[in-house]
Structure 1
Amino acid sequence: MKPGTESDLESVKQSIVKKIRANLSTRHVPAKILPVKKIPYTTNGKKIEIAVKNLITDCYNLGEQYRAEHKGADIEQVFEYVKKNIMIDKSKVVAVADFDSIADFAKIKDILF
C-alpha cells in the first residue's frame, strides 16, 4: 500500500472481498488480506508469486516449530524468533528486481497468526 492510505485499509479489504465473491466464489476469498510496501517483480516485470508463497509458508512453519518447542510463547517472541532465523534462499529469488520486496514479507507479523 502507498504511504498515507492505511486509514482506508478496511474499505480496500471489503472491495477486494466483494470483487472476488462477484467474479469467482466465496471459497476464493483469502483468510487474510494484508497490506505490503511493494509487490515483488522479476527484472522482466512479472509478479513473483511462488517465491512469496514459499517464504510465507517457511515463516509460518518456523513459527509453529518455535511455538511447539516453547509452550506459552507469546506472539511477539514467536515473531522475533522468525525474523531472526528465517533463511531466504536467494537462488529461488534470483530473478527478483528488488530483493527487499521479498524480504519484507518475513517482517509481517500477521502472516504467522
Structure 2
Amino acid sequence: MILQELETQLLALTPTEKAEAIRLLTQSLNNSWPGITKTPDVCGGDACIAKTRIPVWGLVESRRLGITESELLNDYPHITATDLVNVWSYANAHLDEIEAAIKKNQEA
C-alpha cells in the first residue's frame, strides 16, 4: 500500500477510528505496548500479558478457535478485559510475529 492510498483511507475514518489509529501508531513508534512484555527467559521471549506467562499468540489462537473473550476471562480469572484489549492491539500491530509463534508452537 502506498502512502497516498493510506491517506485516503485514514481520512475516511470516523473521529473515533482516527483516534484509535493515532494511538496505535504512537504505540508502534514508541515500541510501547502497555500490559505486554517480552522477557528472554519467560515463554521463550514471546510477548505475554505483563506479570504472567500467558503468551499473546496463545490468546490469539484461542480466539481463532472460537473461544470468546468472556470465556477467556473466565478461564484466566487473573486477567482483565483491558489485558485482552492490549493483547488484540499488540497482535494486530505484530501479525508476522504472532503468526510465526503460532506456527512454531503448532510444530512443537
TM-score for both structures, normalised by structure 2: 0.31
| Length-normalised TM-score, structure 1 | 0.30
Higher RCO (CA 8 Å, separation ≥ 6 residues): 1
